[in-house]
Amino acid sequence: MADSKNNNVNNISADEIGDNHVGTSIDTPLRPDAFDMTPQEKIESIQKDFYNIMQTLGLDMTDDSLKGTPKRVAKMFVNEIFRGLLPENKPGASTFENKYGYSRMLVEKNITVNSTCEHHFLPIVGNAHVAYISTGRVIGLSKINRIVDYYSRRPQVQERMAMQIVSELQEALNSEDVAVIIEAKHMCVTTRGINDINSSTVTAEFGGKFKEKETRDEFLRYLGDNLMPYFG
């Protein structure tokens, strides 16, 4: 399935891919040398590059309000909004034996998503809803939030983000029975291009039992009626 998708996108231009918000890979596209530089070295390099961007735009870089901006942006990129690119920031996904025998669905709703569109480097802001059914292991609730945050804090495509979160939880829980739905607004749609401030995007990834209508419908009922028309 992934190979077929990659073949299709190879037939269109980079501009078309970006304008239509099409992803080209299930994994975040990273070069083999992505981690050769230390975070501090990356900050120093980005600081210089962003200074040149601001200078090119015609801004007066001697102004007190602007001269510290390149360093602030560089630190923000590396340490905050793109911290999910650094493997050392990946949260530990420790699980525990399900000793109390809870066998029903667990749903963590309205997890904040703060991500960045990889096509225009503008924010993606919304919520993720995560569910799983234990097959012998359970995971701490805060770990689910941390996994969502880790995969959102990088240049992203929303469909890929949902798939990465599901895959990470499936591996941690040793279970296919995981589902994620993400609802988000894309600033590259609302503040540029079509400038449609009312639109939002809903994506989902269903694994294991969640591919069955009965289980999927139970998950959707926990989330409210607004999502039923999409996936019911």
**Does 164 participate in catalysis according to the annotation?**
no
DSSP class of residue 218 equals H
**Does 47 participate in catalysis according to the annotation?**
no
Choosing from 21, 47, 108, 119, which is the catalytic residue? 119
Choosing from 21, 47, 108, 118, which is the catalytic residue? 118
State how far the Cα of 230 lies from the Cα of 137, in Å rounded to an integer. Answer: 30
**Does 188 participate in catalysis according to the annotation?**
yes
Q: Which residue has the tokens 């962003």?
A: 50
Choosing from 117, 129, 164, 183, which is the catalytic residue? 117
Q: Treating both helix axes as pointing N-terminal to C-terminal, what angle do 141-152 and 158-173 enclose, rounded to 10 degrees?
A: 140
Choosing from 21, 120, 164, 205, which is the catalytic residue? 120
Q: Is 75 exposed, middle or buried (0-12, 13-18, 19+ CB in 10 A)?
A: middle
- Residue 160 contacts residue 2 (beta carbons within 8 Å): no
The two three-digit tokens of residue 3, written as one number: 């190979």
DSSP class of residue 98 equals -
State how far the Cα of 176 lies from the Cα of 179, in Å rounded to an integer. Answer: 9
Phi, psi of 104 (to 5 degrees): -95, 180
**Does 55 participate in catalysis according to the annotation?**
no
**Does 158 participate in catalysis according to the annotation?**
yes
Choosing from 21, 47, 108, 158, which is the catalytic residue? 158
- Which residue type occupies 230? Y
For the annotated catalytic residues, the residue numbers are: 117-120, 158, 186, 188
